[in-house]
Amino acid sequence: MSKVVKRTNLPYTINLKSSGSWLKKNYIGWLFILIAAAGICLFYFYPMVQALLLSFQSGMGANLEYVGLDNYVRLFKDPTFIAALRNTFLYLLIQVPLMIILALFLSVLLNNATLKFKGFFRTAIFLPCVTSLVAYAVLFKYLFGENGLINQFLLNLSIISQPLNWLSDPLLAKIAIIIAITWRWTGYNMIFYLSALQNIDKSMYEAAEIDGASSLQKFFYITVPMLKPIILFTSIISTIGTLQIFDEIMNITNGGPGNATLSISMYIYNLSFEYSPDFGYAATVSYVIVILVVLLSLIQFKVAGDKK
């Protein structure tokens, strides 16, 4: 196989005897990934393609027929969808930065070498993440109830004179949802930052101290740049999570009052199970989430300036 040998720029020269022996050498490898690859295709790509096809169909229940791009046109004229989209973006724009900053702040505090009971605080802040989504959402519903703990607390401190209608006021309901998600997920993101902080070389801080840097300067000029990949990672994960938010909305406000807290996922659920089922249009709405996740992740990569 002299032709092959000439191509020296290829990195895998050891495999290059012939395509046949290359196969022979690797078929065990192929065998190993075959099951996983088949699983991914069967349970991931196949449903994705089916959902895409479904998004071009419309009709009630089993009476689906192809309608071309009608569903996608309908999206732009559907006030409920637009309300859901607006709410979801509101959660995204307020909650994700809030949570990332809070998690960063907490992780730096907890990384302090002189802090006592570090283990206790870390556990306490991480603990919300191990609770089930539904269980914590139900708890928050009761906390924010008209005679719930939060109203009682505010009343006793004389901050408010009448109980607030947390869950039946459009603005307060959104705030309640944002507080709930932040409580649940801050600790989760904090763990990523904590582990990344362990990897920052102490000597950099020592050098900065010798140069007379304040702790604020150390934070902004050493900690944040060193954590940048992790910050990017957590913001993408959180963005994807927030776009798909469902459990909290379903259990705390059920989308109400009106459409004030409705999220895109909740709308998909309503279209499929709450109203006369239109799985075609529901699939179209779910593809909007896919498109948004891809777009937002690309933007985040660009903004963070990660060339790789």
Binding-site ranges for another protein (CB under 8 A): 3-4, 7, 10, 12, 15-16, 19, 22-23, 30, 34, 37-38, 41-42, 46, 60-63, 74, 77-80, 83, 141, 145-146, 165, 167-168, 170, 253-260, 270, 272-277, 279
Tell me whether residue 120 is exposed, middle or buried, using C-beta atoms within 10 angstroms of its C-beta: 0 to 12, 13 to 18, 19 or more: exposed
DSSP state for residue 131 in the 8-state scheme: S
Q: Which is nearer to another protein, 241 or 256 (CB)?
A: 256
Greatest Cα pair distance, the chain, in angstroms, is 90
Comparing C-alpha atoms, which of 241, 117, 244 is closest to residue 186? 241
Phi-psi region of 7 (alpha: psi -120 to 50; beta: other; left: phi over 0): beta
Q: Which is nearer to another protein, 7 or 202 (CB)?
A: 7
Q: Which is nearer to another protein, 153 or 275 (CB)?
A: 275
Select 68 or 225, whichever has its Cβ closest to another protein: 68
> DSSP secondary-structure letter at 144?
T
Contact present, 137 and 247 (Cβ < 8 Å): yes
Q: Which is nearer to another protein, 20 or 212 (CB)?
A: 20
β-strand partners of 66? 57
Token couple for 190 = 């904090």
Q: Using DSSP, state whether 57 is helix, strand or coil.
A: strand
Report in angstroms how near the CB of residue 65 gets to another protein at its nearest: 13
For the bound state, the minimum distance from the C-beta of residue 80 to another protein, rounded and expressed in Å, comes to 7
Q: Which residues pair with 58 in a beta bridge?
A: 65
Cβ count within 10 A of residue 260: 19
To the nearest whole angstrom, how small is the minimum distance from the Cβ of residue 308 to another protein? Answer: 23
The amino acid present at 94, given as its one-letter code, is I
CB count in 10 Å sphere of residue 190: 25
Least distance CB 160 / another protein (angstroms): 16
Looking at the Cβ atoms of 230 and 260, the one nearer to another protein is 260
| For another protein, the closer CB: 170 or 241 | 170
Q: How far is the CB of 117 from another protein (least distance, A)?
A: 38
Are the C-beta atoms of residues 30 and 14 closer than 8 Å to each other? no
Closest separation in Å from C-beta 275 to another protein: 4
Distance in Å, CB of 30 to another protein, minimum: 7
Q: State both tokens at 167.
A: 């869950």
DSSP state of 58: E
